[in-house]
Amino acid sequence: MDKNIPKKSSTSGFDKFIHWVEVVGNKLPHPFWLFVYLTIIIIVLSSICSKAGVSVTYMAAGRAGAAGKMTTVNVINLMSYEEMRLFLAGFVKTYVNFAPLGLIMVMTLGIGLLEQSGLISAFMRKAILGAPSWAVSATLALVGINANLASDAGIIFTPAIGGAVFKALGRNPWVGVITGFAAGCGGFTANFFVAGTDALLAGITESVAKSAGLDAPTNVLINWYFLIFATFLLTAATTLVTEKYTVKVLGDTAGPLDASELEQHRVTKDENRGLRWAMYTAILLVILLLVMTVPSGSFFRNPKTDTIVPSSPLLSSLIPLLFFFFFFSGIAYAYGAKTIKNMGDIPKMMQQGLAGGLSFFVVVLPASMFVSLFAQSNLTTILAVKGAEVLKSMNLGGIPLLLMFILLSCFVNLFMISGSAKWLILAPIFVPMFAVVGFSPALTQMAYRIGDSSTNIISPLSYYLPVVIGLMEQYRPKDNTQSVGIGTVLSLTMPYSLAYLLVFGIQIVVWYIFNIPLGPGTYPIM
């Protein structure tokens, strides 16, 4: 390991910028209070704008082939007696019926069982430890990118297993830590599978789209095709940066294999049996789904058109289908691996998995009120129309507009880490605004996810930086007296962030130009 890694000067422009971001970000309130303040601002602003007679007139699109018509929308005064009575009467209903709440609860219960039973950990370790040494970087990248199936646990697990495996193979463990962190955190939005993040963001998008009266698909799979393809691209980009940059900066001189370290993470006989049982169960479930979907007139096909997309019982049942897939696969693994003793352990595992999402359930209370009141005030419609008029007058075109929004998401991510909290703020403004210029909700959501995911690894406010710093300190050679800090991690992860932005940016431009489906029945252009 190179113990002479250049240390950034405390007076460099980069360090000054990082310090400024850290100071500003630390001044932001907790997301719970942030949404409380935003809700108060919306209420006050609606009163002021309503009394000032703020309104907008635009051509509203007709539905189901109907002709459009000129529509005038006025700001609703949320401080009026009538509106406040409606707000209080519907307080509980607004929270309970908030689309992301139910989606993320159900998905968390299913994924929590996979995580607590040990299936995800065993699968990741088997994938990485089973790869030849020359392919370890690529395998670690692929596993890390798909680790968001386990949500935050995947981000923490991937750099930890990366460092351990690289050390065991006689390679520089710092390279494994950085590669695992970059893939798990920076590639957080991509996946071969449908993860909790997809349900969470799609739920927010659906809530906003319905409030804005948009007739566009907003199911959990609206970005799935795009993300599957992106997984391959990001794996290649991660591997390239690791081998061409990180290895050269940190050094990767092969040392003796550490058999004891490798043995600590090897998949046990019971875990292998559990993985086989889970695989058999998954195959049976997929076959059953195909039998109920592929034949004409089958259960999951649209009863009127006998099709699957753009609407069918299959697409409207995705969340429960995913839950049952995770549920039965998790149980099969748990019995095979002997991680449960009786049926009573299953709900306990699901309960432990749900505990990880408690902070989201708290933040959703004021967030649901903010989204509902923002839409109820008609400020979203007015902002969308006025914003679209400004964008049209700038003659930017679709591609520059997409790239500008991605960069905006990147900038906001430096100050606010929570992806759902940012989307709860940005979605009510940009989903209807971009819909006016022809962007589908799926395209707007994907552009946001690109900016949010790519810059996760370079945010100085990231929750995971202390974990990465701790792992690097753990593997620091005794003869290396240089301390590891935020600047060390950011300087090593910056190339990954830039590579992800470039790859994602090129992909979304291609998808937009050729109007390639982002998911089943969802296209970039409405």
Which one has a higher pLDDT value, 343 or 319? 343
Say what the pLDDT of residue 478 is.
66
Instruction: With a cut of 60, say whether residue 62 has pLDDT above it.
Output: no
For residue 17, what pLDDT is reported? 60
Report residue 342's pLDDT band, with 50, 70 and 90 as the boundaries. Answer: confident
Is the pLDDT at 113 greater than 60? The verdict is yes
Average pLDDT over residues 190-194: 85
Q: Is position 286 within any domain?
A: yes
Asked whether residue 64 is domain-assigned, the answer is no
Question: What is the count of structural domains for the chain?
Answer: 1
The H or E element that residue 126 is part of is helix 119-129
Looking at residues 218-234, what average pLDDT do you find?
93
Q: What percent of the chain has pLDDT over 90?
A: 33
Cβ neighbours for 369, distance < 8 A, ≥ 6 positions apart: 35, 39, 87, 91, 94, 95
- Looking at residue 25, its pLDDT comes to 52
Asked if residues 357 and 108 have their Cβ atoms less than 8 Å apart, the reply is yes
Q: Is 6 part of any domain?
A: no
**Average pLDDT, stretch 115-142?**
79
Backbone φ and ψ of 281, nearest 5°:
-65, -45
- At 15 the pLDDT is 56
Say what the pLDDT of residue 175 is: 92
| Predicted local distance difference test score (pLDDT) of residue 388 | 60
pLDDT over 90 (residue 161):
no
Which structural domain range is residue 375 located in? 17-52+73-513
**What is the model's pTM?**
0.69
Would the pLDDT of 412 be above 60? Answer: yes
- 518 in a domain, yes or no? no
Confidence of residue 403 (pLDDT cuts 50, 70, 90): very high
Query: Maximum Cα–Cα distance for the chain, whole Å?
Result: 76
Mean pLDDT score across all residues of the chain: 82
- State mean pLDDT over 226-246: 94
In a domain, 341, yes or no: yes
521 domain residue, yes or no: no
Buried b / exposed e along 342-373 (16+ C-beta atoms within 10 A): eeeebeebbeebbebbeebeebbbbbbbbbbb
With a CB cutoff of 8 Å and minimum separation 6, the contacts of 302 are: 308, 311, 312, 313
What DSSP state is assigned to residue 244?
I
Tell me: pLDDT of 21 over 60.
Answer: no
For 124-146, what is the mean pLDDT? 80
Token pair recorded at residue 52: 């000032």
pLDDT > 70? residue 392 = no
Residue scoring higher pLDDT (355 or 229): 229
> What tokens were used for 19?
């310090």
Is pLDDT larger for residue 21 or for residue 431? 431
Residue 5, domain member (yes or no):
no
Give the SS3 label for residue 74. Answer: strand
451: in domain: yes
Give the pLDDT of residue 66: 42
